[in-house]
């Protein structure tokens, strides 16, 4: 038996990185998945890879998570394609590595739009689709940077902290309404995905050197693999976590214990 047999998952930012790794793992464990991304071609490629192994289990949709109308269209399409939605993984996000003084207002607003407005829109418009297919689970990607600040992460800290408490508000709302929909946040630290490309470019160093530098900040001494995050999402999406809502999982190799 798959751990998420019968689940129907909508995954944003699914064209690469943590989103694609999670889509592949969820499909392997029995779920249908809709891979949503602003990179529509990338989303299709991931869905095709999944369908090659698990025929008929993956669908792709183009979605800019900052666009309210596109959310409505994408969720309606996913609902039709999968026969419902009962897992929402709000994963799409962008980084931001500048101080409050060095961040221009447009950049600040863009990071809020992609990283936290998207979570609001996703929850708001997916919940009505999820209620008839409960039990359901919402998993929102914050970051360890949503819990611990850095001097040069003004916009990212603000957005990811917002995701953390928004997830709890959604959890309490769904519980109060008796929806049987849970909501939790995940908080990764450095994971080896294409998001590191921006840090490589800014630091002018190779991927291996960057990973070694980042690993020195992690008590376990390594950066994470995408599957380290995907396993946490799989658990939260499955009914194994049926008593967990309004909570958070840190996937940080021990950083936040210091």
Ligand X SMILES: NC(=O)c1ccc[n+]([C@@H]2O[C@H](COP(=O)([O-])OP(=O)(O)OC[C@H]3O[C@@H](n4cnc5c(N)ncnc54)[C@H](O)[C@@H]3O)[C@@H](O)[C@H]2O)c1
Q: Closer to ligand X at the Cβ: 63 or 138?
A: 63
Tell whether residue 66 is a contact of ligand X (CB under 6 A).
yes
Tell whether residue 70 is a contact of ligand X (CB under 6 A).
no
Which residues are within 8 A (CB) of 173 and not within 5 positions of it... i.e. 6 or more apart?
Answer: none
Which residues are within 8 A (CB) of 32 and not within 5 positions of it... i.e. 6 or more apart?
Answer: 7, 8, 9, 57, 58, 59, 82, 83
> Whose CA is closest to 31, among 58, 6, 59?
6
Site for ligand X (CB under 6 A): which residue of 23, 65, 130, 161? 65
Token digits of residue 234: 């799989």
Tell whether residue 77 is a contact of ligand X (CB under 6 A).
no
Beta carbon of residue 111, minimum distance to ligand X (angstroms, whole number):
9
Tell whether residue 91 is a contact of ligand X (CB under 6 A).
yes
Q: In what order do the strands lie in the sheet with 8-12?
A: 58-62, 32-37, 8-12, 87-90, 136-141, 181-188, 248-251
Q: Which of 156, 179, 231, 235 is catalytic?
A: 156
Number of residues written out for the chain: 258
Is 156 assigned a catalytic role?
yes
Q: Closer to ligand X at the Cβ: 4 or 155?
A: 155
CB atoms within 10 A of CB 198: 13
The 161-200 contact track toward ligand X, x by CB under 6 A, reads ---------------------------x-xx-xxx-----
Query: Which residues of the chain form contacts with ligand X (CB under 6 A)?
Result: 12-13, 15-19, 37-39, 42, 63-66, 91-94, 114, 141, 143, 188, 190-191, 193-195
Active site residues: 156
């Amino acid at each position: 038996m798959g751990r998420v047999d019968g689940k129907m998952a909508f995954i944003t930012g699914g064209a690469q990185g943590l989103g694609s790794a999670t889509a592949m793992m969820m499909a392997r464990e029995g779920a249908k998945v809709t891979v949503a991304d602003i990179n529509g071609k990338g989303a299709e490629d991931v869905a095709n890879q999944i369908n090659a192994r698990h025929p008929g289990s993956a669908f792709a949709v183009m979605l800019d998570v900052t666009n309210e109308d596109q959310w409505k269209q994408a969720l309606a399409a996913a609902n039709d394609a999968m026969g419902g939605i009962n897992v929402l993984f709000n994963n799409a996000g962008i980084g931001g590595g500048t101080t409050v003084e060095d961040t221009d207002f447009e950049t600040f607003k863009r990071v809020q739009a992609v990283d936290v407005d998207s979570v609001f829109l996703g929850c708001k418009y997916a919940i009505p689709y999820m209620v008839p297919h409960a039990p359901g689970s919402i998993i929102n990607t914050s970051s360890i940077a949503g819990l611990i600040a850095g001097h040069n992460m003004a916009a990212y800290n603000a957005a990811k902290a917002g995701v953390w408490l928004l997830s709890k508000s959604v959890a309490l709302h769904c519980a109060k309404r008796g929806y049987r929909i849970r909501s939790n946040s995940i908080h990764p630290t450095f994971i080896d995905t294409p998001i590191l490309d921006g840090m490589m470019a800014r630091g002018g160093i190779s991927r291996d050197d960057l990973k070694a530098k980042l690993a020195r900040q992690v008590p376990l001494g390594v950066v994470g693999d995408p599957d380290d995050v995907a396993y946490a999402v799989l658990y939260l999406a499955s009914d194994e976590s049926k008593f967990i809502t309004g909570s958070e999982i840190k996937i940080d190799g021990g950083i936040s214990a210091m």
